[in-house]
């Protein structure tokens, strides 16, 4: 790596960029850092409320339904599908970034298209899940589910679930909008004229972050 060869240089004495990173990418990273603390605050407050409760609903019971095939009772199957869709769309996003590195316009268009499709599929799944839970009378301020030990549960569970997955879903939605704009700009040849596809990389960072947050939401709400 070229970086190793340069080790030992005085990075912070001026005259060169100590990060060797393009400005927009650097700012995207710092934005994601602040967003990570926002999500961290949400999830940690969820954790501290859960630690403060004597009992809590069982996720395997709450999230047991799967659409279309007669709402079968398979615990966690549907959310696994959502997780798979999001990981898959993260892969297609990296492939778009890789194509951008090679200035391969058709490749970028193809992979951005699949990424957008994955994002839309995830949002549709989440819309179904919310609708289904709402039909079971779960919503902000009301919780039809018992605690795992059969005692009365508070509304903390539903309040946190809808707030945090909603906030994450909103991030996915903005990611899809950003990706659509990137796709249009690619098709119009904006990046080709510019000579580089750095914008795709910035959109990619945001999209992977959304996937990263989902990994934590998935663990906190469905597994623990």
Partner 1 sequence: MSEVHIDAAGHAEPSFSTKAIWKTFWILLIITLVELVLAIVYYETHFLPKHFLNGLFVIGTLAKAFFIIAEFMHLRHELKNFILSLVFPSLLFIWFLIAFLWDGNSYRDLRNKYDSYHLEQSKTPAAKKPGVE
| Beta-strand relationship, 65-66 and 72-73 | antiparallel
**Binding of partner 1 by 8 (CB under 8 A):** no
**Binding of partner 1 by 1 (CB under 8 A):** yes
**Binding of partner 1 by 189 (CB under 8 A):** no
**Binding of partner 1 by 50 (CB under 8 A):** yes
Could you say which of 27, 38, 44, 190 contacts partner 1 (CB under 8 A)? 44
- Quote the least distance from Cβ 56 to partner 1, whole Å: 11
**Binding of partner 1 by 136 (CB under 8 A):** yes
Query: By C-beta, is 136 or 184 nearer to partner 1?
Result: 136
Restricted to residues 137-166, the positions that interact with partner 1 (CB under 8 A) are 137, 144-147, 149-152
**Binding of partner 1 by 196 (CB under 8 A):** yes
Could you say which of 31, 55, 167, 192 contacts partner 1 (CB under 8 A)? 55
Sign of CA dihedral 119, 42, 201, 180: positive
Query: By C-beta, is 69 or 193 nearer to partner 1?
Result: 193
N-term to C-term CA, the chain: 41
**Binding of partner 1 by 127 (CB under 8 A):** no
Q: How far apart are CA 199 and CA 203, in angstroms?
A: 6
Residue 147 contacts residue 153 (beta carbons within 8 Å): yes
Using alpha carbons, list the distances in angstroms from residue 134 to 2, 104, 152, 162: 55, 45, 19, 10
3-state SS assignment for residue 155 = coil
């Amino acid at each position: 790596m070229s970086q190793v060869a340069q080790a030992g240089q005085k990075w912070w004495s001026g005259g060169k960029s100590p990060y060797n990173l393009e400005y927009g990418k650097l700012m995207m990273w710092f934005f994601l850092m602040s967003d990570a603390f926002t999500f961290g605050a949400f999830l940690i407050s969820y954790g501290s409320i859960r630690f403060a409760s004597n009992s809590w609903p069982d996720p395997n019971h709450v999230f047991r339904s799967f659409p279309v095939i007669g709402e079968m009772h398979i615990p966690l199957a549907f959310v696994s599908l959502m997780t798979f869709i999001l990981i898959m769309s993260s892969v297609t996003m990296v492939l778009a970034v890789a194509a951008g590195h090679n200035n391969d316009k058709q490749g970028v268009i193809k992979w951005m298209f699949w990424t957008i499709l994955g994002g839309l599929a995830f949002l549709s799944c989440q819309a179904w899940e919310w609708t289904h839970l709402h039909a079971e009378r779960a919503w902000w301020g009301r919780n039809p589910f018992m605690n795992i030990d059969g005692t009365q549960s508070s509304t903390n569970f539903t309040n946190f679930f809808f707030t945090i997955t909603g906030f994450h879903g909103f991030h996915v939605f903005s990611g899809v909008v950003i990706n659509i704009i990137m796709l249009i700009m690619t098709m119009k040849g904006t990046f080709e004229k510019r000579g580089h596809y750095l914008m795709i990389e910035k959109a990619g960072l945001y999209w992977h972050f959304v996937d990263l947050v989902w990994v934590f939401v998935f663990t906190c709400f469905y597994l623990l």
